[in-house]
Chains A and B, each alone.
Chain A
Amino acid sequence: MTDLLYDADEEALRDSVRALLTAYAPWQRTLAAVDGEDRYDLELWRRLVDQTGITGLAVPTEYEGAGAGFREVAVVLEELGRTVAPVPFLGTVVATRALLACGEHTLLRQVATAECEVTLAVGFATAPDRTPAATAPTSTTRCDPVRVGSGPTLSGRVSGVVDAVPEGLLLVPAGEGLYVVEAADPAVRLTPVVSLDATRPLVDIEFTGAPARPVATGVAAAEAVTAALTAGAALLASEQVGLAQWCLDTTVAYVRQRHQFGRPVGSFQAVKHRLADLWVELTEARAVARYAADRLGADDAEASLAAALAQAYCGPMAVRAAEVCVQLHGGLGFTWEHPAHLYLKRAKSSAIAFGTADRHRAALARMVDLPAPTVEQRH
């Protein structure tokens, strides 16, 4: 039976990550980072990598990783969600899953030892069951499909990529294959996007004949990308749970001490019931997220279903948590000086990342045989 709890190793990992984030990622620092020119808190990232080895968690020990697994990765993401820390962990994990699928041992070793950062160069909103509709250009994005030229070299654009760092490597699906390209190559241009969630920077990427090395072709390449996006959808749920937990905890603490009409705001039934409903939803979301992380580790047929369920449920849950947090903080929750807006922006953009809830429900409809009507048959 699936274990939906946390084991002792996972709790120990949580403690060490939380201690580090408490010391080095107070929200004032995060707010200052997004308010300034910094795209990531690289000092914090360096500490996380050096002191907890998080980039190697899901990498097998033979490639110098910790050989832990995705349940542990999920626990780290819960803690990062609690702090909306601006570090490129999620993108690293997604790329790691693709590299595991391709058997790219050299790159896995480099990721595990943090020699370089690797990012899957697809739009952050891409769902695991991506179809042309999901990747088509819109009025505000240009997304010329990346073409493969001789050499090989790559040309084209990818819009809205998360966690791409200028010194890192890009894993680019193009044509029938998956290629590695150096982000620092002169034929690659990264253009920062003004994103809804400033704690998770996005870039548009343009390739103009960039030298590329194939790491997978054909079915293997497509499967690696699907596996990576499935992992993203599944693991993002844990980040959403951590984010929602912060919103709930912070709001409960606030309404306990804030008085209006001569009594604590938290003693009003309208307030209590809203928070009770949120707690129930979060309790269920935690079980769903644990299930998704667990199935991902097992890598069985249930993994896709669990990932779709996770994004169908946990994304909207986190948005509601952040919205309740803003609302119940009253005017304070609407100010730039309170961190609630960082959580709302993260939650709302995460609800679109790796596919919206609606998209995942449509995927579930196919997986569990609940087909849409073929035509309007009634009345």
Chain B
Amino acid sequence: MSDHTADGLRGLVAAFLRTHDPAGDRTGFLRARFDAGLAWVHHPPGRGGLGAPAHLQPVVDEAFAAAGAPDNRPRRNSIGLGMAAPTLLRHATEAQCRRWLRPLWTGEEVWCQLFSEPEAGSDLASLRTRAVPEGEDWVVDGQKVWTSLAHQARWAILLARTDPAAPKHHGLTYFVCDMTAPGVQVRPLRQITGEAEFNEVFLTGVRIPDAHRIGAVGQGWPIARTTLMNERVAIGGRPLPREGGMVGVLTRLWRQRPDLRTAGLHAEVLHAWVRAEAARLGALRLRQLITAGEPGPEGSAVKLSFAELSQQISGLEVELRGAEGLRHDDWTMHRPVEPDLLGRTATYRYLRARGNSIEGGTSEILRTIIAERVLGLPTEPRRDR
């Protein structure tokens, strides 16, 4: 247990670095780091961790970064790291974790999320993709949408209906789908910015072995909730320094371009600065609160604030630029691994930010979740239960 302190973990990293060359083979280094329990220190031994407190993870990451060690490029596999991994860890079997977690963490295998459907967005539990048992397999038919990274992913977490007769939240089962399996077809979905971050995924007679089912048949909804709560924290909760993220773009512009300044915009820039700093401290406090446990519905607050701020700030930036705000950089269709929020024009940020209040749960749904599950207010009358 003495290793489970900041100093203890720094000692373990130092010892690891003595036997593993950070300048050597990247994949080999990352695999060894996982096996040494230094990937996610709060995970149990054998699953990339040491069973140490989660708040010590930054100590390990900083020690590796200081040594110039390769990281696992977390953004390249954001769905895998932010959503699939916490769900697998909580609900998958030992054998399933052994198969999937290491290549997920090292980035050798990218993951995507087959949840939303054309007619099941915020009302996710109304999804219609069916999985029917056949021998040792399930046979899946349906269509998914808004699937980030589907064109690069090796695996997908998949929510499918296995009992059409049951009430909608009870008829769902959670699977891991092999994206290279016959019958999986991925098509880019072009969006408001002109590029295609997302995909439509068509599933036609896709066979999924029963060994790739997560949890019990019909228990998919509570497991999906683990994924969704982690998703909200992952989207809004990356710890940032002051003026990190979009507010930094705005403040740098303000400082560099006195010609753009007006009194009215000054007031708005200051409002945005204060709001961004409050949201940053709020996210930091939430992180301190949940550091050892699972994110709860409180994580919705972070995602909600992030969406509102990114929209407010990106809109303000376009306006601040005045005539320059009329010019966009590029409407050509691209397939980015992730949106280039800080590298492109203000107009790109403004348009991409429209998605922030929709993806990962709309702001309206998040407000309802906070009202019902945090504040305990009564549900609205519903016809689907």
Interface residues in chain A, defined as those with a beta carbon under 8 Å from any beta carbon in chain B: 2-5, 248, 252, 255-256, 263-264, 266-269, 271-273, 275-277, 279-280, 283-288, 290-291, 309, 312-313, 361-362, 364-365, 368-374, 376-379
Contacts and interface: CB of A to CB of B under 8 A. Distances in A.
Given A272-B372, A287-B278, A266 B377 contact: yes
A377 B281 contact: no
26 contacts: A256-B376, A263-B378, A264-B377, A267-B380, A272-B368, A272-B380, A273-B364, A276-B371, A279-B375, A280-B282, A280-B305, A280-B370, A283-B286, A283-B301, A284-B282, A284-B301, A287-B285, A309-B274, A309-B277, A313-B274, A364-B274, A368-B251, A377-B260, A378-B260, A378-B322, A379-B322
Contacts of A286: 282, 285
A78 B83 CA distance: 37
B342 interface: no
Interface stretch (B7-15, B24-32, B156-164, B262-270): B262-270
A364 B254 CA distance: 14
Judged by DSSP, the binding face of A is helix
Interface in B231-283: 251, 254-255, 258-263, 266-267, 269-271, 273-275, 277-279, 281-282
Judged by DSSP, the binding face of B is helix
B370 A279 contact: yes
A283 B284 CA distance: 11
A266 B267 CA distance: 35
A360 to B, nearest CB: 8
Contacts of A279: 301, 370, 374-375
Contacts of B180: none
Nearest to A264: B378
Contacts of A290: 285
A275 B375 contact: yes
A2 B380 CA distance: 40
A1 B366 CA distance: 30
Which 9 A-B residue pairs are closest in the complex by CB-CB distance?
A284-B282, A272-B371, A373-B261, A287-B285, A4-B285, A287-B281, A276-B367, A276-B370, A267-B378
A364 B377 contact: no
Given A272-B371, A376-B262, A377-B259, A312 B284 contact: no
B282 A283 contact: yes
Contacts of A371: 255, 258, 261
B271 A361 contact: yes
